[in-house]
Amino acid sequence: MTYELLKIENVTKNYGKTVANNNISFSVNAGETAVLLGPNGAGKSTIIKCIAGLLRFSGKIEVCGFDNKSLDAKKRIGYIPEMPAIYELLTVSEHLEFIRRAWRMEDDGYGAEILRRFELDDKANKLGSELSKGMQQKLSIACALVHNPDVLIFDEPLVGLDPHAIKELKLMFRELKAAGKATLISTHMIDSVEDYWDVAHIMMNGSFAATKRADESDASEKSLEELFFEITEGGERE
Amino acid sequence: MSPLLYLLAAKLKNMLKRFFRSPGKLIYALFLIAMMALVFFTSGKGDVPNAGALRNANELLAIIIALFGVLFLLITFSGFSEGTSIFKMADVNLLFTGPIKPMRILFYAMAQQLGVSVLTGLFIVFQYNWLNRSYGVNMTGIIAILVGYGLTIFTAQVAAMLIYILTAGSENRRRYVKLGLFVIVGAYALWIVYNLVTAGGSPMTTLVSLSSTLPIKLFPVAGWLGTAAFGISVGNMSAVALGLVLWAAFLAALLFITSKSDQDYYEDVLQSTEKIHKTLEAVKENRTPTSTKVSKVGKSGLGGGWGSSVFWYKMMLENRRQKKFFVGFSELFLALFCLGFGYFTVTEKTGVYPLLGFVAYMQLFSIELKGIGRELTRSYIYLVPEPPFKKLFWGIIESVPGFIITAIVIYVPLGILKNISPEVIAIASLWHVTMCSAVLSVNLLIRRFFGDSSKVLMFFLYVIVLIVAMAPGIALGILLTASGVIGSAASAVPLGDGPYILAVSAIWNLIASLFLIFLSRNMLNYAPTSVR
């Protein structure tokens, strides 16, 4: 039996007269990795921000059965933004301590493990202002993971990461899946998600143009990449 | 400890630690503290002006209320556009998405902002000398003005945020609230104009006398805090109490309405926070911040330029599309501030020199390369096959119309108000334009030799190079005037006669500017890695 940890129902988001998301519905189950694909401006980041509770919208978003704006929902969400922004005056380890305090959690050693895996353990006492863009992105991911959320939403998570961190993050995606977490990843780079997605939603102009499940593919069907370019470029590709 | 308290404490602790680890910042801080101590010490130990020698204290009240009022209205009205933000992107990413109540996050940001607001007003401390001599303001009075300044900015930001939260979702609400505020401000403006017309005499005298009337003292926030700060300076504690009570009640009302309104303010501050973050990131990376405004193309084509002069035409075109007409708002505000300073300090005895000194001093707070700075972040100025001196020259020329406009804004009204001869105004304006050009050239030279290595280093070098570049002109002017080669020793200072020192200094500034550009020319041989 599947359990919907993240449920989006008829979500519409307008910026003035511009419709950024138009009546979007989907869900992500426990142990499932969903990806949002689409060109720039398709509305991926907007729906991600709606789920993270940063934007108002019409419709309904539930996280583990709680309204996404409630504190109960926020306790269960980990959000990795497209634009990593960390506190310049907090050290790496203080960021994790702050998150633990905010989520009212004791230190279980998981934070240190994440830092080690992302090769940030030797930077634990470095200030946020001393970190490179890539390190900031790793710390941003660590902050989202350290409170062990049930639902993780990543907005372009691989941008700016070094090869080791990309390898480690892809491994983490699989571990999250095995641990029964619901993971939603927004990206415009198909290559980066090709080997670990369960369901892919292709977005165009604020709506879902197609949804493809990894387990229902057969030889006659188009690959995710073919489907993507058929939708976004009308089948034209070099 | 609550997570927000932990966050504030950790940031404060690390700020202090970082301070002591960075020699540059430490030296800069010590320099500022030493300057402040010097200002206090020299002013306090000098001959204390007797009460009869002081200027009308209401002028001080007028200055304080005008400063607070302009700041309050500008920041408050920003709530109708993209709003202002007291949050950082890290707050958005880590606090907004966390299990912390929105109101607590709001209070955390406000507490943090209050400290920042007070720090931005430190320039007020450096006005101690002339405020002490002109109005007898003591150290407590200066601190009161500084705190009033910080509280004004802080309250205005809270008001702007509330306006944004209340009106962001509804065009009608936005219109009504805006109309309401315009009615209040308009009523005050009409009342002031009515008084100016009916009172006759000097407009400035009327404005000064109006500042002590009840309606002005009751003007929201600026009137209350201005009266309170002034009350501390002159020892009027009932005015202090009244001002603070009104301000506290207003702030409490703002917070009450915020807490009772839709607490989902995250979206409302997200856009402005993102915009500020992108701008700051761009500045850090030496990039031009990307404007989110859609520019109208209008008339197309550069309209002129050949070889290196094409840069000037291109920059003019860009300015037109960005609706930048030579001077930015901050430069205009600074010019008006200088005009106000000039009105209160320029006398028959001193001539325009205190104002010119002040104008040069204020340039220290607006060190930037303007249009040429933007051009140096792009590859074209390095690639165009023209002599580098000419390319830099045309790049710098773009800023000159702005210098001329600020000179007109400062010196022409001052000349009319103070009855200064047109010749003196013309020469002072010329000196202003050439001084600003010299400042820009000094910036260029420092960029040429030191890049963007350290802002603190830049500041120190800037002051030293500026003095080295400009001092010979002033010295030469004094020498020629004193020796009677031009003008006469007696005619060097008074307003009515020609200030020959200035004329010689202006010519020298121009020569120095061209020489500095010449020295900087090789910076175009290699583009820095940050160039796009």
Q: Does B270 touch chain A (CB under 8 A)?
A: yes
Q: Does B97 touch chain A (CB under 8 A)?
A: yes
In angstroms, the CA B2 to CA B14 distance is 18
In one-letter notation, the amino acid at residue B446 is I
Asked whether residue A69 falls in the same domain as residue A165, the answer is yes
For chain B, how many structural domains are there in total?
2
Name the one residue in this structure whose structure tokens are 């705190």.
B147
Give the DSSP per-residue string, A158-182: TTT--HHHHHHHHHHHHHHHHTT-E
Q: Does B530 touch chain A (CB under 8 A)?
A: no
Expressed in percent and rounded to 5, the helix, strand and coil fractions of chain B are 75, 0, 25
> How confident is the model at residue A31, as a pLDDT?
93
Q: Is residue B178 part of a domain?
A: yes
Asked whether residue A58 falls in the same domain as residue A163, the answer is yes
Residue A117 or B266, more confident: A117
In angstroms, the CA B411 to CA B273 distance is 38
Q: Is residue B457 part of a domain?
A: yes
Asked whether residue A113 falls in the same domain as residue A162, the answer is no
> How confident is the model at residue B226, as a pLDDT?
92
Q: Give start and end residues of each alpha helix (H) in B261-326.
A: 266-284, 310-321
Residue-level pLDDT, tens digit, chain B, 532 residues: 788 899 989 988 888 887 777 776 777 777 777 777 777 676 655 555 666 667 788 888 888 998 899 889 888 887 776 555 678 888 888 888 888 888 788 778 877 877 777 777 777 777 777 788 788 888 888 889 988 998 998 898 888 878 877 876 677 888 888 898 889 989 998 998 888 888 777 777 888 888 888 889 899 999 999 999 999 888 888 889 999 999 999 999 988 887 777 656 677 677 777 777 776 676 665 555 555 555 666 777 778 888 888 888 888 888 887 777 777 777 888 888 888 888 877 877 777 877 888 888 777 666 566 778 778 877 678 877 788 888 889 888 888 888 999 999 999 998 888 888 888 888 889 988 988 888 888 888 877 776 655 555 666 666 777 777 777 777 776 777 666 665 544 444 444 444 677 788 888 888 888 988 888 888 777 666 555 5
Asked whether residue B435 falls in the same domain as residue B508, the answer is yes
Q: Which residues does chain A have within 8 Å of residue B14's beta carbon, measured at their own beta carbons? A: 89-91, 94, 127
Indicate the burial class of B23 (C-beta count within 10 angstroms; 0-12, 13-18, 19 or more). Answer: exposed
User: Searching chain A, which residue's CA lies closest to the CA of residue B95?
Assistant: A102
Tell if the CB–CB gap between A53 and B94 is shorter than 8 Å. no
Indicate the burial class of A43 (C-beta count within 10 angstroms; 0-12, 13-18, 19 or more). Answer: buried
Asked whether residue A153 falls in the same domain as residue A63, the answer is yes
> How confident is the model at residue A222, as a pLDDT?
78
Indicate the burial class of A111 (C-beta count within 10 angstroms; 0-12, 13-18, 19 or more). Answer: buried
Query: What is the radius of gyration, based on Cα positions, of chain B?
Result: 25
The distance from CA B278 to its chain's CA centroid, rounded to whole angstroms, is 22
Q: Does A18 touch chain B (CB under 8 A)?
A: no
Asked whether residue A43 falls in the same domain as residue A153, the answer is yes
For chain A, how many structural domains are there in total?
2
Asked whether residue B438 falls in the same domain as residue B499, the answer is yes
Q: Which residues does chain A have within 8 Å of residue B98's beta carbon, measured at their own beta carbons? A: 74, 99, 102-103
In angstroms, the CA B187 to CA B181 distance is 10
How many CB pairs below 8 Å do chains A and B form together? 94
* CA distance, residue A231 to nearest chain B CA (Å): 29
> How confident is the model at residue A21, as a pLDDT?
92
> How confident is the model at residue A55, as a pLDDT?
84
Tell if the CB–CB gap between B18 and A127 is shorter than 8 Å. yes
> How confident is the model at residue B530, as a pLDDT?
53
Query: Among B252, B282, B312, which residue terminates a domain?
Result: B282
* CA distance, residue A35 to nearest chain B CA (Å): 21
In angstroms, the CA A206 to CA A126 distance is 40
> How confident is the model at residue B405, as a pLDDT?
92
Asked whether residue A125 falls in the same domain as residue A193, the answer is no
- Measured N-to-C along each axis, helices B171-199 and B203-210 cross at an angle, to the nearest 10 degrees, of 120
- Give the structural domain span for A203: 1-76+149-238
Asked whether residue B273 falls in the same domain as residue B326, the answer is no
Does the model's ipTM exceed the 0.85 cut? no
Q: Is residue B17 part of a domain?
A: no
Asked whether residue B209 falls in the same domain as residue B353, the answer is no
* CA distance, residue B37 to nearest chain A CA (Å): 29
Q: Does A91 touch chain B (CB under 8 A)?
A: yes
Tell if the CB–CB gap between A98 and B3 is shorter than 8 Å. yes
CATH code, domain carrying A198: 3.40.50.300
A31-51, pLDDT tens digit by residue?
999 999 988 889 999 999 999
Sheet architecture: strand order including A207-213? A77-80, A151-155, A182-187, A33-37, A199-204, A207-213
Q: Is residue B22 part of a domain?
A: no
User: Searching chain A, which residue's CA lies closest to the CA of residue B2?
Assistant: A101
Asked whether residue A12 falls in the same domain as residue A71, the answer is yes
Asked whether residue B353 falls in the same domain as residue B407, the answer is yes
Mutate to test the interface with A, among B94, B272, B287, B530 (most CBs of A within 10 A): B94
The CA dihedral of B325, B327, B328, B330, to the nearest 10 degrees, is: -160
Asked whether residue B246 falls in the same domain as residue B321, the answer is no
H or E element: which one contains A125? none
Asked whether residue B476 falls in the same domain as residue B438, the answer is yes
In angstroms, the CA A163 to CA B16 distance is 36
Q: Is residue B59 part of a domain?
A: yes
Asked whether residue B333 falls in the same domain as residue B417, the answer is yes
Query: Among A148, A164, A194, which residue terminates a domain?
Result: A148
Asked whether residue A118 falls in the same domain as residue A182, the answer is no
User: The pTM is what?
Assistant: 0.66
Sheet architecture: strand order including A58-63? A18-29, A4-15, A58-63, A66-67
- B97: nearest CB among A74, A90, A97: A74
Q: Does B89 touch chain A (CB under 8 A)?
A: yes
In angstroms, the CA B262 to CA B422 distance is 58
Asked whether residue A225 falls in the same domain as residue A169, the answer is yes
Asked whether residue A200 falls in the same domain as residue A215, the answer is yes
B494 contacts B350 by C-beta, under 8 angstroms: no
Name the one residue in this structure whose structure tokens are 């409302």.
B268
* CA distance, residue B181 to nearest chain A CA (Å): 24
**Kind of pairing, strands A77-80 and A151-155?**
parallel
For residue A61, give both structure tokens. 């978003």
Query: Among B282, B315, B347, which residue terminates a domain?
Result: B282
In angstroms, the CA B18 to CA B29 distance is 12
Asked whether residue B186 falls in the same domain as residue B264, the answer is yes
Asked whether residue A118 falls in the same domain as residue A158, the answer is no
Q: Is residue B151 part of a domain?
A: yes
Tell if the CB–CB gap between B96 and A83 is shorter than 8 Å. no
Asked whether residue B258 falls in the same domain as residue B335, the answer is no
Q: Is residue B34 part of a domain?
A: no
In angstroms, the CA B80 to CA B177 distance is 9
- A102: nearest CB among B3, B15, B88: B3
Tell if the CB–CB gap between B90 and A56 is shorter than 8 Å. no
Q: Is residue B423 part of a domain?
A: yes
Asked whether residue B218 falls in the same domain as residue B326, the answer is no
Residue B220 CB neighbours (<10 A): 21
Q: Does A8 touch chain B (CB under 8 A)?
A: no
Tell if the CB–CB gap between B98 and A74 is shorter than 8 Å. yes
> How confident is the model at residue A238, as a pLDDT?
39
- A87: nearest CB among B11, B18, B98: B11
B181 contacts B159 by C-beta, under 8 angstroms: no
Instruction: Count Cβ neighbours within 10 Å for each residue of A137-176 and write b for 16 or more, e otherwise.
Output: bbbbbbbbbbbebbbbbbbbbbbbbeeebeebbbebbeeb
Asked whether residue A127 falls in the same domain as residue A230, the answer is no
Asked whether residue B264 falls in the same domain as residue B310, the answer is no
Q: Which residues does chain A have within 8 Å of residue B95's beta carbon, measured at their own beta carbons? A: 102
B434 contacts B441 by C-beta, under 8 angstroms: no
- B14: nearest CB among A71, A84, A90: A90
- Give the structural domain span for B83: 47-282
> How confident is the model at residue B494, as a pLDDT?
44
Query: Among A126, A148, A170, which residue terminates a domain?
Result: A148
Tell if the CB–CB gap between B10 and A94 is shorter than 8 Å. yes
Angle (CA) B435-B437-B443 rounded to 5° is: 105
Query: Among B219, B247, B282, which residue terminates a domain?
Result: B282
Residue B444's region, left for phi above 0, alpha for psi from -120 to 50, else beta, is alpha
